[in-house]
Amino acid sequence: MGAFCSTRAAIKLHTLLDLRGAIPAFLYISDGKLNEINVLDFLPIEAGSFYVMDRGYLDFRRLFAMHQAGAFFVTRARSAMDARRVYSSTADRNHGVICDQRVMFNGRSTSKKYPEQLRRIRFKDPDSGKTLVFLTNNTALPALTIAALYKSRWQIELFFKWIKQHLRIKRFLATSENAVKTQIWCAIATYVLIAIIKKELKLDASLYTCLQILSVSVFEKTEISCALQHPLPPPDMTCHSNQLILFDI
């Protein structure tokens, strides 16, 4: 990739986050010119899994390939989507579900890319008051569960925020493609190792706290399990009757 240069360049870190442990399950590093949609061509699809994506990954040909592979997706619809209603299910308006429909595309091109029915859910978020339109190929889960799945997508934003704030890749040690990718992979590996340690040791401390403790004790001959345990309480300094008093008070 010739876009990695010493003056000015851009990279993208495309990440699939496993929400069962908040750990990256797939990473792809590209230059800044690659469209996010193209990453779906490299994404390993696991049958029965749910893939939650924002509208930047809305490509119906690729979504239909995911559907044929036996996987489920949840994403948001664009406002200009041309589709007709085929069937409407009962909507739980008391909990924000405005409508729960099966739709088919009207456009010739789009209907060829996705020739089957899609589920369209219109949901009003009670917290923000915004109305969101979700698209999914799953017809079994309740509409509120689909909305909750999409809300969990925020975990990927928290992941990138943690990476930027705490691993602090402010500058690259070298500008070749190999050097840039190596530095990023080292940062991701650090995050994953800390997340694994936190889960294995069942720690209540945050990932950042674990990172801080390990960073100051990396050269000490102390087991990780001991370094991350809660510190011992301070000794009891109360006066006991069997101790002599040196000065009168």
pLDDT in tens, 181-209: 888 888 888 878 888 887 777 777 777 67
β-sheet bridge partners, residue 131 = 124
| pLDDT bracket for residue 13 (50, 70, 90) | confident
In angstroms, the CA 217 to CA 145 distance is 43
Domain ranges of the chain: 35-152, 157-227
Q: Locate the DSSP E strands across the chain.
A: 11-18, 23-31, 50-52, 72-76, 83-89, 97-105, 118-124, 131-136
Q: Is the pLDDT of residue 99 over 50?
A: yes
- Residue-wise pLDDT for 52-69, tens only, equals 999 888 999 999 999 999
Spatial separation of the C-alpha atoms in residues 109 and 173, rounded to whole Å: 47
37 SS3 class? helix
Q: Is 95 helix (H, G, I), strand (E, B) or coil?
A: helix
Q: What's this model's pTM, rounded to 2 decimal places?
A: 0.73
Instruction: Tell me: pLDDT of 77 over 70.
Output: yes
d(CA 139, CA 89) in angstroms, rounded, equals 10
CA 92 to chain centre: 28
